[in-house]
Chain A
Amino acid sequence: KAGVTQTPRYLIKTRGQQVTLSCSPISGHRSVSWYQQTPGQGLQFLFEYFSETQRNKGNFPGRFSGRQFSNSRSEMNVSTLELGDSALYLCASSFRSFITETQYFGPGTRLLVL
């Protein structure tokens, strides 16, 4: 079974631009979560989508948004990029949106904002 895939793997943007990241979950998984990983803050939860609905959201500004399509693929968008948005963005999928479910992570998209 194919794992979680994320595209692109690397991105370079400049301040003020916007960016869209894509995540394809494991086949059959309906929950997709997004995390931001930085050296200073570590891993932080952004939001979770289940069956095309955002179920939970972390403590991030409204510049960070996402959506999920009917095939469970998800996109994350960051508008008006800031230098501090430079990070590794990880996507994770699970079968159900449930606390005991194992989340399977993709390799991440590394975003550099100049």
Chain B
Amino acid sequence: GDSVTQMEGPVTLSEEAFLTINCTYTATGYPSLFWYVQYPGEGLQLLLKATKADDKGSNKGFEATYRKETTSFHLEKGSVQVSDSAVYFCALSDLKGGGADGLTFGKGTHLIIQP
């Protein structure tokens, strides 16, 4: 079945550091890929998405490129802020039997940014 693998952390960085959170996936079809963020006590918010190979999703300084050849969708940000501290989820949505089968999520990466 479909699966998403990402580092679980916690990942601790200093403010203004460069961020990379790795995400790789396994899918039977041709999935769409997403990054969601969850702040403490809240639901999930879409951060960015990509729906086909070589697409780059970007938002709020974060970006990720859909790499079909390496089945990856790594999240990057050039300079993190304390306010970026949250849990980040990589997810995919795959077409199976003619219908979407919900989002398949990774375990989540807890990011802590220190001032």
Q: DSSP class of A's interface residues: helix, strand, loop or mixed?
A: strand
List chain B residues, Cβ under 8 A from A42: 105-108
Whole-angstrom distance between the alpha carbons of A47 and B91 in the complex?
A: 16
Tell me whether B63 is interfacial, beta carbon within 8 Å.
no
Q: Are A104 and B46 in contact (CB under 8 A)?
A: yes
List chain A residues, Cβ under 8 A from B95: 99
Q: Which of A37-66 contact B (CB under 8 A)?
A: 42-48, 55-56, 58
Q: Are A43 and B43 in contact (CB under 8 A)?
A: no
Contact of A48 among B43, B100, B105 (CB under 8 A): B100
Whole-angstrom distance between the alpha carbons of A92 and B94 in the complex?
A: 17
What is the interface size of chain B, counting residues whose CB is below 8 A from a CB of the partner? 26
What residues of chain B have their CB less than 8 Å away from a CB belonging to chain A?
31-32, 34, 36, 42-46, 49, 51, 89, 91, 93-95, 99-108
Stretch at the interface among A12-20, A71-79, A105-113: A105-113
Number of A-B contacts (CB under 8 A): 62
List chain B residues, Cβ under 8 A from A4: 43
Q: Are A90 and B31 in contact (CB under 8 A)?
A: no
Tell me whether A102 is interfacial, beta carbon within 8 Å.
yes
List chain B residues, Cβ under 8 A from A105: 36, 43-45
A43-B100 in contact given A103-B46, A104-B46, A105-B43 (Cβ < 8 Å): no
A58-B43 in contact given A99-B31, A99-B94, A100-B51 (Cβ < 8 Å): no
A99-B43 in contact given A42-B105, A42-B107, A43-B89 (Cβ < 8 Å): no
List chain A residues, Cβ under 8 A from B99: 55-56, 97
Contact of B104 among A45, A90, A107 (CB under 8 A): A45
Whole-angstrom distance between the alpha carbons of A97 and B45 in the complex?
A: 18
